Amino acid sequence: MLKRVISILTKLWRSHLSLAALFILGIGLNWAIASCNTPTPTGSASPVASPAAAQAQVVRIGHQKFDPFTLVKARGGLEKRLQPLGISVEWKEFQSGPPMLEALNVGSIDIGRTGDAPPVFAQAANAPLLYIGGSAPKDRSSGILVPANSPIQTLADLRGKKIAFTKGSSANYLLAKALKSAGIKWTEIEPANLTPADARAAFQQGNVDAWVIWDPFYAAAQAQVDVRVVKDSKGLAANRDFYLANRSFTQSNSKIIEAIREETQAVATWADANPEEVVKILAPILKIDVSILDVVTRRRSYGFEPIQADMVAEQQEIADTFFELGLIPKQLKVQEVVWKPGN
């Protein structure tokens, strides 16, 4: 069984299957490995990979470079807040949301933060993850770009055009919403599934007509490339952050989750009042020009709020949209994977 799964993954990788699909198959690979092997200790100071339904002694938090948790880590307040509970913090960095959620799935980390699209794919793959919080909207933090001299002036002009975006990402959802608002069918455009770096290169070389992208790549393109914004995400996509935890971890660790939420919210309040200080902290970490990072910081949220009905509704719309486009294999009910403290 394991050899068969590996063979399938290899063929799909060579055919450039989407990252989202690889994430789904990756979970299957982990299950196959688990069925063929007996887990052995790794020698890490962290708890074993399958989190027990008991209070943790070490909370393992996944984060990305440009992430609210990056600020929380830099400020150092979370460790102090958790110390009275006898809890220490272990930080683990990931390049993107899907591998972070895969780590959550197998119990390598306890909590992670990602964008709005990866949790939908995780749920479609039956990963044992729960939404434990979300951010305020960041609805100016992505957009649809065209060259400054492009004849494309409105969303309606995108019909028949070649458009670059990353399949299964928030940009994929923004494009779907934008086309629908303009009365354009998905089949009436030429999709170009590209990573942000490859999409920028194709855009600058004139190989695509438009590019859908998020911050900080969005702000960098605005500053460094001769572009025009046809439409930003406001009114189309909330672009929230979402915080997720392994289902087993949530069972006996509500105090830890609440402490992390409170500290992240405190850092977010500080960040809103001190954007210049945020830039000073993040610039050397992210290696992004200060002027670009300032734009990004002022149009995003670093918060961690309890899950609300509007957040669930937004995620449900993303799930429904991706199912309609054939990006996930089944219809989902997002409410089923929302954490309910005490349950």
**Which domains does the chain carry?**
39-137+240-287+302-337 (3.40.190.10), 142-232 (3.40.190.10)
Structure token digits, residue 32 = 């196959």
Q: Is the dihedral of CA 46, 52, 54, 55 positive or negative?
A: positive
Three-state secondary structure call for residue 210 = strand
Please give the share of the chain, as a percent, with pLDDT higher than 70: 83
Query: Which of 1-5, 80-84, 204-208, 338-342 has the least mean pLDDT?
Result: 1-5
Structure token digits, residue 66 = 């440009």
Helices 217-224 and 290-298, packing angle to 10 deg? 130
pTM above 0.75, yes or no: yes
The amino acid occupying position 83 is Q
Q: How confident is the model at residue 54 (pLDDT cuts 50, 70, 90)?
A: low
So what's the pLDDT on residue 323?
95
